[in-house]
Structure 1
């Protein structure tokens, strides 16, 4: 939630909310190596989440997707995502994770794309219409990763009746992108 009214003031407000003398999340170095060149497994990327039901679901998902890892929902998702980020700030991991999730669903992306200006997604201007629950779940996850809101909880993600496996996988990939950047997914296909 913002107290200011314009996108430029939202950016300043984001900076004001940050903890002083700490680097932004997702822009660090690990073991002396930048994560840009290395791929990350989902389990490694999300191991810090200490909620046992979520960890069980993540382990189960990792086992099921071991033979057929999913970087994108389908080829169309990959093409739209890559076209969307072509001229965007790829070092803004929050922006990249939001784009990853928002472009995963065609109808969702059609509702959202006019509210993207330069490197800012204006969530307050988005008016969703005609979406199913999976599209809305992706929207909520994108908003959470971009703005730090709490539309979805870890217990929501752990619930197999609430979030289907394919959507769970996309959200986990989005969380990995938020943490490690585009190295969490492959931009040219392949497997994790």
Structure 2
């Protein structure tokens, strides 16, 4: 059963817009993110035909710098706003993909709870879990939706969520489902998404493209 009272009526779209987080536009406009960091068919013209890009597999992880991954992943992007933000962002990389120790603990605790190895699951799964565990409030709302084979977003009912938590949720849903729920323009907007949330989203993009090996990058 839908949580929208006006579901199936002419007012459904208006109700969904009213319930969305402030400042986020409907997904019919803007530059979409899936075209840029997905391995298959992405703008980086990756030639891989599996779920994981072999960019890291062909080289030792310690030979690859963080900014090399950013360049490879977003090299064909047309958004100057995002390019400028990425340039500032990569210069501040300290060798840690997680936002903080609490984020890291939530992420690995869930992997342990599900009894799954990070090397045995798809990059999309890793990236989605990475985003959902990035925010404490979001994780409390989403924890029960995690399944060994995916995520049931219909079970996540957003309440008391702020704009940054909403951005994390929308990006996680975009990565998991392959449908567009957030745009590059929104991610690039410093007034809409703060630096901490931006870090989580960009790192999730890298995980989606390169898999769990990204966690080995330290420079």
TM bucket normalised to smaller: 0.7 to 0.9
Contact 2:53/2:209 (<8 A) preserved: no
Shift of 1:191: 3.5
Q: Return the alpha-carbon distance in structure 2 between the equivalents of residues 32 and 110 of structure 1.
A: 35
TM-score by length of 2: 0.67
Shift of 1:153: 0.5
Contact 2:53/2:211 (<8 A) preserved: no
Q: Return the alpha-carbon distance in structure 2 between the equivalents of residues 35 and 49 of structure 1.
A: 26
Q: Which runs of 5+ in 1 are unaligned?
A: 1-17
Residue in 2 that maps onto 1:107: 137
Q: Which runs of 5+ in 2 are unaligned?
A: 1-39, 42-47
**Larger radius of gyration, structure 1 or 2?**
2
Shift of 1:46: 2.9
For structure 1, which segment, 172-181 or 49-58, has the greater mean C-alpha deviation from structure 2 after superposition? 49-58
Shift of 1:157: 1.1
| SS of the residue 1:185 aligns to | helix
Shift of 1:176: 0.5
Runs of 4+ residues deviating >6 angstroms:
34-38
Contact 2:66/2:218 (<8 A) preserved: no
Matches within 5 A, 1:53-68: 53-63=81-91, 65-66=92-93, 68=94
Indicate whether 1:74 and 2:100 are aligned: yes
Contact 2:56/2:210 (<8 A) preserved: no
Shift of 1:173: 0.4
Q: 2:55 aligns with which of 30, 33, 38?
A: 30
Aligned pair count? 167
Shift of 1:50: 3.1
Contact 1:101/1:138 (<8 A) preserved: yes
Shift of 1:177: 0.5
With over 3 angstroms needed to count, the CA separation of the structure-2 counterparts of 1:123 and 1:24, relative to structure 1, is farther
